[in-house]
């Protein structure tokens, strides 16, 4: 199963899909703030721009994929998915964060954490190797010094 950027909400909602001079009845199977999973008799082609009317809201998007009777619709703008499911009136578009950083998705944050953990493991291993090398050098140097002293003593 594909890792999701954000959770999907299972729903069962009827709607009407419009695009390229056609109108078709659709059923929404799941929803997220970025798109919908739809089922209909003959889905439009991938890449086609369409709009769908559900719960009194008209949403615009692009067909992301199509297979059999199912298709994925990706919105142009993120929506408040809970307001969409509840059928609330008013605009559904989420406000963009102006200035500052855009919030990271959990998947990106997880990848970044793994990256940092791998780098920390490398740094710790490198440090342990360096400390072990220093001890080995010190031991060999001390042993050589003892051998030199024994050689001077025997040479007398």
For the chain, give the mean pLDDT. 82
User: What's the mean pLDDT in 91-112?
Assistant: 62
User: What's the mean pLDDT in 109-118?
Assistant: 78
Q: What percent of the chain has pLDDT over 90?
A: 31
Half-sphere exposure of 146 (CA within 13 A, CB side): 6
Question: Which pLDDT score, from 0 to 100, does residue 11 have?
Answer: 92
Task: Assign a CATH topology to domain 9-86.
Answer: Thrombin, subunit H (2.40.10)
Question: Which pLDDT score, from 0 to 100, does residue 136 have?
Answer: 87
Question: Which pLDDT score, from 0 to 100, does residue 109 have?
Answer: 67
Question: Which whole-number Å values give the CA distances from 45 to 24, 38, 48, 62, 126, in the listed order?
Answer: 14, 13, 6, 10, 54
State the pLDDT confidence band at 85, using cuts at 50, 70 and 90: confident
Q: How many CB atoms lie within 10 A of CB 118?
A: 10
**Per-residue pLDDT for 25 more than 90?**
yes
Question: Which pLDDT score, from 0 to 100, does residue 114 have?
Answer: 79
Question: Which pLDDT score, from 0 to 100, does residue 101 have?
Answer: 55
User: What's the mean pLDDT in 109-125?
Assistant: 84
């Amino acid at each position: 199963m594909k890792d999701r950027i954000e959770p999907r909400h299972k729903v069962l909602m009827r709607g009407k899909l419009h695009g390229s001079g056609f109108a078709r009845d659709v059923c929404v199977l799941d929803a997220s703030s970025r798109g919908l999973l739809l089922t209909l008799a003959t889905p439009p082609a991938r890449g086609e721009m369409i709009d769908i009317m559900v719960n009194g809201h008209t949403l615009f998007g692009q067909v992301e994929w199509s297979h059999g009777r199912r298709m994925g619709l990706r919105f142009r703008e993120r929506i408040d998915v809970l307001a969409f499911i509840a059928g609330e009136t008013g605009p559904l578009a989420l406000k963009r964060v102006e200035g500052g950083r855009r919030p990271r998705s959990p998947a990106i944050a997880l990848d970044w954490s793994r990256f940092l953990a791998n780098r920390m493991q490398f740094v710790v291993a490198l440090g342990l190797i360096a400390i072990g090398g220093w001890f080995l050098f010190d031991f060999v140097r001390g042993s050589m010094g003892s051998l030199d002293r024994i050689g001077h003593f025997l040479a007398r």
